[in-house]
């Protein structure tokens, strides 16, 4: 049980860190010269962007600071108000990027079509615009805008792209995150109808973390426990309980994560055809099959038990491989900060490294035992004696002895 508490503790730490990092919006910035402070800020629902602003009712103006990371270091970030629709075309935008001459430039762009725009005048009066490039790779746009007709409920649109040609930002990617980056926000109350979008961001973050912990971390650890602890007689039957505990808690957490995925899917039309969703549904079916198969497994000396074992291993490894593939597909959709992808790569690479070392150790121990004893009585790492050396899918003599 000690191992389980460690894993659970680790999961809680990761969840807390993830939740904390979700709070990316700031109310004060330095623009390179001075500190600028704002009354309100919102994490935007996609692209890891944030908007900070102050509304001045006396003259109907807003000061804004929009912060996002370009899709590539030579790329651009943009934010704007669309007086006509919650959509890209029509947006009166501010777009900033790092110019090839080294300065961070910001200009106004009237987005009249689905085509790369040139700098132009816009229908919203903008003053004191500037932009800074931070060492983190983020770009912050600062500006003062006069709201049209003092209307504080505005459609705002934001975007990031990967390339700029001269002063013309090139087309952005067409990922779900790039297509969903527009909401309505009330700049007066600070309570936006974007709050639905913000809570969707929270749901997406939860979907990501719950599935990564359940399917992507607990289940591979549980599989490693079964494969590598089993060979130690002293670890029997502890390995079995640990394995069952990791897999069943991974499954319970995983089903919760799967349910958040269904909710997100029903809120985002178009998602139902993505491979991520299809693999997710396949994983739920395979995982559920594993749980029920456990209840139906033949006794360890039953003649069909070895077929059951082959099925159990094959399904288990399929689940792990599909999970890792699907987590990376999920990263592509949600586009969390790179550090989360890197953190998961680090976890999975460490588990893979540990597994590789244990695999080699297992075989060394197996061959040592084999050379000391007669082949008929030796118990291999995977059971069934020396005659089955090299066959990783054979039934262990004490496999699932409980």
Q: In this chain, which of 1, 2, 35, 59 binds ligand NAG, going by CB under 6 A?
A: 59
Is residue 116 left, alpha or beta, with left meaning phi > 0 and alpha meaning psi from -120 to 50? beta
Question: Whose Cβ is closer to ligand NAG: residue 101's or residue 374's?
Answer: 101
Cα separation, 36 vs 142, whole angstroms: 9
Residue closer to ligand NAG by CB (options 3, 190) is 190
Residue 189 beta carbon to ligand NAG: minimum distance, rounded to whole angstroms: 16
Judged by beta carbon, residue 103 or residue 174, the one nearer ligand NAG is 103
Task: Give me the phi and psi of 229, to 5 degrees please.
Answer: -85, -25
What part of residues 29-58 is at the interface with ligand NAG (CB under 6 A)? 56, 58
276 is in an annotated binding site: yes
State in angstroms the smallest separation of the CB of 337 from ligand NAG. Answer: 29
* Long-range contacts of residues 341-344, Cβ cutoff 8 Å, at least 24 apart: 343/14, 344/212, 344/216
Rule CB under 6 A: choose which of 10, 17, 27, 60 binds ligand NAG.
60
Of 127, 189, 199, 202, the one binding ligand NAG (CB under 6 A) is 127
Between 2 and 102, name the residue whose CB sits nearer to ligand NAG: 102
Assess 294 for contact with ligand NAG (CB under 6 A): no
Nearest approach, Cβ of residue 105 and ligand NAG (Å): 5
> If you search the block for the tokens 């790569």, which residue do you land on?
345
DSSP-assigned letters across all residues of 293-304 = HHHTPPPTTSTT
Identified binder of ligand NAG from the candidate list 105, 163, 256, 351, rule CB under 6 A = 105
Half-sphere exposure of 132 (CA within 13 A, CB side): 13
| Dihedral sign computed on CA atoms, order 98, 101, 105, 110 | negative
Contact call for residue 150 and ligand NAG (CB under 6 A): yes
CA 31 – CA 315 distance, rounded (Å): 55
Smallest distance, ligand NAG to C-beta of residue 54, A: 9
243 is in an annotated binding site: yes
Cβ within 8 Å of residue 177, ≥6 positions away: 46, 47, 333, 334, 335
Per-residue contact flags (x/-) with ligand NAG for residues 61 to 90, judged by CB under 6 A: x-----------------------------
- Residue in 99, 341, 369, 397 binding ligand NAG, rule: CB under 6 A: 99
What is the C-alpha separation between 244 and 235, in angstroms, rounded? Answer: 14
DSSP state of 269: T
Q: Is 312 within any annotated ligand binding site?
A: yes
Least distance between ligand NAG and beta carbon 164 (Å) = 11
Binder among 121, 128, 170, 350 for ligand NAG (CB under 6 A) = 128
Tokens of 287: 């995982």
Minimal distance, residue 168 CB to ligand NAG, in Å: 12
Residues that bind ligand NAG (CB under 6 A): 56, 58-61, 99, 101-103, 105, 127-128, 144, 149-150
Q: Which residues carry a binding-site annotation for heme b? A: 207, 243, 276, 312
């Amino acid at each position: 049980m000690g191992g389980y508490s460690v894993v659970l503790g680790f999961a809680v730490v990761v969840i807390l860190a993830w939740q904390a990092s979700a709070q990316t919006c700031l109310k004060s910035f330095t623009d390179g010269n001075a500190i600028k402070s704002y009354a309100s800020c919102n994490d935007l629902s996609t692209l890891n962007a944030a908007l900070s602003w102050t509304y001045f009712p006396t003259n109907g103006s807003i000061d804004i600071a929009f912060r996002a990371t370009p899709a590539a270091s030579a790329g651009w970030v943009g934010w704007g108000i669309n007086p006509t629709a919650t959509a890209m075309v029509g947006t009166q935008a501010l777009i900033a990027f790092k110019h090839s001459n080294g300065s961070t430039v910001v200009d106004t762009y009237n987005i009249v079509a689905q085509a790369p725009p040139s700098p132009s005048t816009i229908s919203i009066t903008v003053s004191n615009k500037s932009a800074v490039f931070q060492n983190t790779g983020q770009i912050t746009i600062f500006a003062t805008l006069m709201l049209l007709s003092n209307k504080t409920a505005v459609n705002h649109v934001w975007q990031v792209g990967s390339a700029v040609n001269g002063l013309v930002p090139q087309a952005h990617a067409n990922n779900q995150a790039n297509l969903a980056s527009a909401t309505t926000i009330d700049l007066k109350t600070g309570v936006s109808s974007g709050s639905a979008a913000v809570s969707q961001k929270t749901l997406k973050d939860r979907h990501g973390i719950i599935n990564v912990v359940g399917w992507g971390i607990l289940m591979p650890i549980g599989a490693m426990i079964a494969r590598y602890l089993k060979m130690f007689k002293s670890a029997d039957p502890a390995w079995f309980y640990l394995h069952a505990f990791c897999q069943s808690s991974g499954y319970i957490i995983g089903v919760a994560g799967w349910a958040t995925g269904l909710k997100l899917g029903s809120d985002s039309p178009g998602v139902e055809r993505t491979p991520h969703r299809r693999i997710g549904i396949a994983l739920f079916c395979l995982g559920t099959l594993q749980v029920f198969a456990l209840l139906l497994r033949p006794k360890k000396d039953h003649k069909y038990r070895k077929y059951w074992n082959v099925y159990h291993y094959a399904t288990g490894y399929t689940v792990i491989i599909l999970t890792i593939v699907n987590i990376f597909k999920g990263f592509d959709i949600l586009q969390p900060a790179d550090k989360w992808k890197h953190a998961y790569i680090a976890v999975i690479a460490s588990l893979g490294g540990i597994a590789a070392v244990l695999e080699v150790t297992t075989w060394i121990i197996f061959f040592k035992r084999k050379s000391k004893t007669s082949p008929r009585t030796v118990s291999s790492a995977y059971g069934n004696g020396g005659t089955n050396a090299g066959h990783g899918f054979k039934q262990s003599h004490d496999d699932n002895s409980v």
